[in-house]
Structure 1
Amino acid sequence: MTKRMLGAVLVPLGIALALVALGIDLLGAGRWGGFGPVQIIGLVVGLALAVAGGILVRTNGRPA
């Protein structure tokens, strides 16, 4: 697997995680009213994965 392929997997995975963290209240699954600490962690991790994946996508196709 090349770095570019790994990045192509991480970007949508990170975006999906961030969207789930943001939308969990719509499903009524949150324990806290409003934006809870687990949602913040999910959002930060999701955005970090998306950014790391974006950096990897921009690299050349060397093996990871």
Structure 2
Amino acid sequence: MKYDWMDAYVLKKRGVTKDFQPVWNWIRYHVGGKMFAAICLDQKKNPYYITLKLILKSVWNI
């Protein structure tokens, strides 16, 4: 995958979970059950963009 670095980085953070949404063809990342990032795949399973949401600093106690 083109974004292995992102996968490795976010999964090191406490409380992050990952799943795959086949309807949208998205690899999704969650904290506390809320999605904060996604790698969006095309029909051939190649990533074509990333979407990110703002996370409050208190979530990870940075």
TM-score by length of 2: 0.25
Structure with bigger gyration radius: 1
Task: Specify which structure has the bigger relative contact order, considering alpha-carbon pairs within 8 angstroms and separated by 6 or more residues.
Answer: 1
TM-score for both structures, normalised by structure 1: 0.25
Q: Flag the structure with higher helix content.
A: 1
